[in-house]
Amino acid sequence: MEEVTNVMEYEAIAKKKLPKMVFDYYASGAEDQWTLAENRNAFSRILFRPRILIDVSKMDMSTTVVGFKISMPIMIAPTAMQKMAHPEGEYATARAASAAGTIMTLSSWATSSVEEVASTGPGIRFFQLYVYKDRNVVAQLVRRAERAGFKAIALIDTPRLGRREADIKNRFVLPPFLTLKNFEGLDLGKMDQASDSGLASYVAGQIDRTLSWKVLT
């Protein structure tokens, strides 16, 4: 790989190397992408307040997240279907997070299972949970994540998928050589081809729209 000096260059390289459907899935947002743009703009407005003439020969950027100490105030958010981008997918992300001393959050819709990610070695890991209509599936996922050593559940409120126009145009579907590994054996690991977005159809058919604080408590 050519020398990369910033995140934007990684994105440019990915655009060259990945199939259009895959790149658009990772890179795009919903509708006119206002939320995506606002998130990026908000991040760019974060400034560092300089402290002048301070001894920086020894620095400690460590902090804690829900009681777990990490090396820096950065952790890895859940990103689905990582093996679309690279054969090692979530395995590589888990190893990188562990090496950096920070938290990886594994997506429900990962292309590696909670057990497979746990097998990569030690590390602090959270599990991002979509709540399915079949609550037995949800209970199984939580128990499996706990047994695999995951430390917390990151709950996602997704009553429906955003109208991701790039996915609609590309007729997005998970490539046939991949599955949503956490759902293998439950007849929920594959996405059917749809007239628009296979992922949107999957969400509409499986995700529980009745989820509320009342259900959780």
For 26-72, write each residue's pLDDT tens digit: 999 999 999 999 999 999 999 988 889 999 999 999 999 999 999 99
Structure tokens at 74: 């950065």
Residue 206: what pLDDT?
Answer: 80
Tokens 């628009």 map to which residue? 196
Using the predicted structure, report yes or no on whether residue 197 has a pLDDT greater than 80.
Answer: no
Domains of the chain: 58-216 (3.20.20.70)
**83-105 pLDDT tens trace:** 999 999 999 999 999 999 999 99
Please choose, from the candidates 65, 86, 69, the residue with its C-alpha nearest in 3D space to the C-alpha of residue 77: 65
In this predicted structure, the answer to whether residue 22 has a pLDDT above a threshold of 60 is: yes
Check: CB of residue 186 under 8 Å from CB of residue 137.
yes
